[in-house]
Amino acid sequence: MTPGNALDRLTALLSRLPGIGKKTAGRLAYHILDTDPAYAHSLASELDNLHDAIKRCSRCGAYTESDPCPICSDPSRDRALLCVVERAQDLRVIEESREYRGLFHVLGGLIAPLEGVGPGDLSIGKLASRIQEEGTRELILALNPTIEGDTTALYLQQFLKEKLKGSPLEITRLASGLPVGGDLEYADRLTLSRSFRGRIKL
Amino acid sequence: MTPGNALDRLTALLSRLPGIGKKTAGRLAYHILDTDPAYAHSLASELDNLHDAIKRCSRCGAYTESDPCPICSDPSRDRALLCVVERAQDLRVIEESREYRGLFHVLGGLIAPLEGVGPGDLSIGKLASRIQEEGTRELILALNPTIEGDTTALYLQQFLKEKLKGSPLEITRLASGLPVGGDLEYADRLTLSRSFRGRIKL
Ligand SMILES: [Zn+2]
Ligand SMILES: [Zn+2]
């Protein structure tokens, strides 16, 4: 390759990002090379810093720079509401909808037997403890409307009913608005607002 | 913002890349956070190294780790042929077509009066010297089939005819195959091969 290994190595690394093919990665690498070196150095510095600066909240599992995270530490949030999401990034899109003022819990995945992901791989025991300790009254399952999301919602419902027998916990799930088979992360503000308002009791 | 400034800063930097919107940048940043820190550190290290490792070839203007570049130094290349490209990255796509075995010259842009780019901003004087010193017999203009490409080709033809009066230099331009208004960088191997074979004399 003419431009040398440094460019090829950068291209190979960029092409490992989701949605970035080999051709796009090559164009990005050349663009970075064409741009002021200060940009490459800033990007490098943020990448080096990222995992040190951002940890998981020990309560909810969200990404945060402080522990507990700003949401868990916010006394104005409604602690009777607990919203369960698959991944930490789902939390941001819900926060941006400004529809919800309760707490969150990041499961860390969805039950997917074919991919070898079982209930034991998710933060479910922790969720049960939180519900008991924090006196949660409504658990809102904000899981993608996919087979894995449905399976996980059903499992959580059965597991928690058994585990928290006699508790007045209400379990709901975001429903109306989210396109079936879609991804929560791609939902717009309006769709999410509608999903929250139209949530159904499980 | 919940996940803290480190993630926001990385997202902002990524969204400055061409074709990467704010939403995509956010997803990429979260993906990097979800991935083993070793990936972020490798990417950071390549970015830091990039501009130090890769320079411009002092002869042809291509990106290279050694100077002169591997193409300029290769005794098996046909020195009678000189292919003129707009940008250094155009060189790679031509090399990958394996259609061409001559030398290259990177102009560093195209004449665009509305954007304030004139002939003096391009590597044109250097091109004339190279043609004389290296005894070029055919100059192949591999410029995008756009208004700027056409203007630059016309200018080069007139300038070099005047400058190299009496020289037997033949000037050709890639023609057949490249879609009008398109970008050389997006051309596939076959299209490029056809363009080389069907090049027209100016
Ligand atoms: Zn938290
Ligand atoms: Zn060179």
Minimum-distance CB partner of B46 among A10, A27, A51: A10
- A112: DSSP letter: B
Interchain pair B13, A46: CB under 8 A: yes
Residue B84: closest CA among B108, B58, B67, B51: B108
State the DSSP H helix or E strand holding residue B56, giving kind and residue range, or none if neither. strand B55-56
- Predicted confidence at residue A1, as pLDDT, reads 39
User: How much is the mean pLDDT over chain A?
Assistant: 88
Minimal CA separation from A193 to chain B, in Å: 19
User: What are B3-14's pLDDT values in tens digits?
Assistant: 458 999 999 999
Nearest Cα of chain A lies from the Cα of B46 at a distance, in angstroms, of 6
8 Å CB contact of A51 and B37: yes
Out of A67-76, A136-145, B84-93, B172-181, which region has the weakest mean confidence (pLDDT)?
A: B172-181
pLDDT tens-digit readout, B44-103 = 999 999 999 999 999 999 999 999 999 999 999 999 999 999 999 888 888 888 888 999
Q: Does the beta-carbon distance from A30 to B65 stay under 8 Å?
A: no
Taking 60 as the threshold, does the pLDDT of residue A2 lie above it? Answer: no
Residue A114 phi/psi, 5-degree rounding, is -65, -25
Half-sphere exposure of A43 (CA within 13 A, CB side): 32
DSSP string, A18-73: TT--HHHHHHHHHHHHHS-HHHHHHHHHHHHHHHHH-EE-TTT--EESSSS-HHHH
Nearest chain A Cα distance for residue B52, angstroms? 9
What was the pLDDT predicted at B173? 85
Q: What is the pLDDT of residue A19?
A: 94
Query: What domains lie within chain A, and their CATH numbers?
Result: 6-53 (1.10.8.420), 63-201 (3.40.1360.10)
pLDDT at A198: 64
Condensed to tens digits (0 to 9), the pLDDT of residues B100-122 reads 899 999 999 999 999 999 999 99
Q: Pick the more confident residue, A195 or A173.
A: A173
Checking if the pLDDT of B33 tops 90, the result is yes
Supply the pLDDT for residue A4: 55
Write out A63-75 in H/E/C secondary structure.
EECCCCCHHHHCC
Contacts of A41 in chain B (CB under 8 A): 47-48
- B-chain CB neighbours of A42 within 8 Å are 13
Model confidence pTM above 0.80: no
Inter-residue long-range contacts of A159-168, CB under 8 Å, 24+ positions, other chains counted = A159/A119, A159/A124, A159/A128, A160/A127, A160/A128, A160/A131, A163/A128, A164/A128, A164/A131, A164/A132, A167/A131, A167/A132, A168/A137
Mean pLDDT confidence for B130-150: 91
Distance CA A112, CA A109 (A): 9
Nearest to B4 among A6, A19, A64 (CB): A64
Q: Strands B78-85 and B55-56: what pairing?
A: unpaired
Helix (H, G, I), strand (E, B) or coil at A153: helix
- Residue B71: which H helix or E strand, with range? helix B70-73
| Angle (deg, nearest 10), helices B37-53 and A22-34 | 50
Nearest to B44 among A1, A48, A62 (CB): A48
Best probe of the B interface among A2, A27, A59, A91, by most B CBs < 10 A, is A2
Contacts of A50 in chain B (CB under 8 A): 6-7, 10, 29, 32-33, 37, 40
B48–A44 C-beta distance less than 8 A: yes
Is a pLDDT exceeding 80 seen at residue B165?
yes
Tally of residues, chain A:
202
Annotate A37-64 with b (16+ C-beta within 10 A) or e (fewer).
eebbebbbbbbbebbebbebbebbbbbb
* In chain A, alpha helices (H): 5-14, 22-34, 37-53, 70-73, 88-97, 124-134, 147-163, 189-197
CB spacing of A31 vs B18 below 8 angstroms: yes
B64: chain A residues, CB-CB within 8 Å: 2-4
pLDDT at A197: 67
A29: which residues sit within 8 A by CB, 6+ positions away?
A7, A10, A11, A14, B50
C-alpha B49 chain-centroid distance: 21
Chain A residues closer than 8 Å to B48 by CB: 40-41, 44
Contact present, A192 and A99 (Cβ < 8 Å) = yes
d(CA B109, CA B85): 9
pLDDT of residue B93: 82
Mean pLDDT of B182-196: 68
Is A31's pLDDT higher than 90?
yes
